[in-house]
Structure 1
Amino acid sequence: MDLPRERKGATVTPDEIEALFTRSNGDYVFARWAYPVVPVVFGVDDTTLAVVKGAFEAVVTLANHKMAENDPEIGANCMVFFLRDWDELASVPELERLLPGVGALAKRLGDEKAERYRVFRFDEAGAIRSAFVFLRMGGDLAEVPAEDLALTEVVQAILCWSEAAFAEVSPLAIAGGRTILRPEIAGVIRAAYDPVLPAAARDRSHALRLAARLRG
C-alpha cells in the first residue's frame, strides 16, 4: 500500500470517525486499552526489536496511556509475532493455551495466503485486555521498512478499529520526505483515550463525542 501525502489542516468528521469503528456487519464497536500495555516481540533481531518497542512507546505516549514491564495476571498482554510462514504458529510454546484453536487458524491463514492477522481479547466491560499480532514476513511485508511496519501495527493495536479502517488508506503519510502518523488519526487516538470517555462503546453517539474532542 502506497503512503498518502500529509493533508495540511486535515480534519476528520463524525461520520468518518464512525466509519473507523463500524464493523462489516454494521455494528459500532469501540474499545481501548484499560490496562498498561506490556508488549513482547518474537522472531526479530535486536535492531528490529528496538524499532518495534520504540513504536509502542511513541503511540502509547500519544494516547497518554501507560506501558509496564509486566501484567500481574498474564505477564505480557500484547504479543507481536514475526513469522516466515504460518506453520510456525504450531511450534510456539503455550500459544494454544493463550489462543485456543491456533492450529486451525494457522491453516486458514496459510490457505488464504494472509500476510497479517490481529486478534483482541476483552474484559467484562468490553475494554481491550490483550492483543495478538501476527505478521508473515515471507511476502510483500518483507519489503516494508521496519519503522513503517512497526508504527502501522502498533497504531492498529492501540484501538479496536473496524477491519476496513485502513484497508484502502494507510494510517501513515509522507510529510517532508519522512513517514509520519496521519495527523487526523493521531487526533482520534488521543481523543479516544480521554479519561472522560468510556473504555468501550457500542453506541454511535460515541463518535460524536470523539469528534467534539478533536474540535476542542
Structure 2
Amino acid sequence: MTMTDTSLSPLTPEAVTTLFTRADGQFLFARWGRPIVPVVFGVEDDTVSILKGAIEAVVALAGHKMAATDPELGANLMVFFIRDWAELTATPNLDRLIPDLAPLVARLEGADANQYRAFRFDEGGGIKAAFVFIRMDAAMAQAPADTIALSQIVQTILLWSDTAFLGQSPLAVLRDGGPAILKPQIADLIRAAYDPALPVASTDPALGLRMAARLGRMQ
C-alpha cells in the first residue's frame, strides 16, 4: 500500500499546539540548548554509522549543531539497543543517569514497550541530555535500521508531547519496501522550532501559534 502522508496540508496552529500539549493538558516545549554529542551502545559499527548519519541529518535540518564532546557530560545523547528491559538494571552506573531505574524497568516490562526516551534539562529549560532505549522486539527487528534511526532522532530533537505520535508516525513510506522519510510537515515544524527568535523552552501555548506562523512562511 502506498502512503500519501507527504501530500497533506500544512499543520494548523491547533495541530502544532497539540503536538506539544501533554496528556495532562500542559503545554511543554523544549529544544536542545547545546550542541548534540551522540554515543550508541549495543549494535554493530554499521548500525552506529546509520544512526549517527540520521542524527547529523536531523540536526542539520534544525539548523542546530553537533560537537565532539560535551564539557559537562562528555556525551549528551546516549542511545541503547537492548534485547530485554532487565539489561538496564544490570548496566553499571545507569541508575545514576536514570532515577528510579528499577520501577521504570518494571513499568516498561508491564507495558511490553519497545522504546523509551528520557530527557534532562538545563537551567533555562532547554534539553541538555537525552537517553534513548530501544528494545529489539519482533516489530523493531523487522524495521530497517535507517527507519529506526530516523524515527528516534526525530522524536529526540524536540520535547514532543507524550501523545504526539500515538497512532501516527512522524515518518512516511513512499512505496512498499521503500525507505521511510520524514513527513514534510514535521520537517518544517522542526525547522520552525529552532528559529533563534523563539525561546529554547516554554510552557505558554501561544508558542504554538508563533511556530505555526513560521510554517506559513515556509510554504
TM-score tier (shorter): over 0.9
Q: How far off is 1:66 after superposition?
A: 0.4
Q: Could you say which residue in structure 2 is the equivalent of 1:147?
A: 146
3-state SS in 1 of match to 2:134: strand
Sequence identity of aligned pairs in percent? 53
Q: Could you say which residue in structure 2 is the equivalent of 1:73?
A: 72
Q: Which AA in structure 2 matches 1:192?
A: A
Q: How far off is 1:106 after superposition?
A: 1.4
3-state SS in 2 of match to 1:79: strand
Structure 1: how far apart are the matches of 2:2 and 2:146?
13
Q: Could you say which residue in structure 1 is the equivalent of 2:86?
A: 87
Residue correspondence of structure 1 range 136-175 to structure 2 within 5 A: 136-175=135-174
Q: Could you say which residue in structure 1 is the equivalent of 2:35?
A: 36
**CA displacement 1:72-118 (0-9 Å, x = unmatched):** 00111111110000010012222111112212211221122111111
CA contact (8 A) 2:3 2:174 kept: no
Query: What 5-or-longer segments of structure 1 have no aligned partner?
Result: none
CA RMSD of aligned residues (A): 1.5
Q: In the alignment, does 2:96 pair up with 1:97?
A: yes
CA contact (8 A) 1:4 1:170 kept: no
Q: How far off is 1:3 after superposition?
A: 8.6
Q: Which AA in structure 2 matches 1:188?
A: L
**CA displacement 1:171-190 (0-9 Å, x = unmatched):** 01123644210000000000
Q: Across the two proteins, how many residue pairs are aligned to each other?
A: 215
Query: What 5-or-longer segments of structure 2 have no aligned partner?
Result: none
Structure 2: how far apart are the matches of 1:58 and 1:39?
13
**TM-score, with length taken from structure 1:** 0.95
**TM-score, with length taken from structure 2:** 0.94
Structure 2: how far apart are the matches of 1:3 and 1:203?
38
CA contact (8 A) 1:118 1:133 kept: yes
Q: Could you say which residue in structure 1 is the equivalent of 2:58?
A: 59
Q: How far off is 1:9 after superposition?
A: 5.9
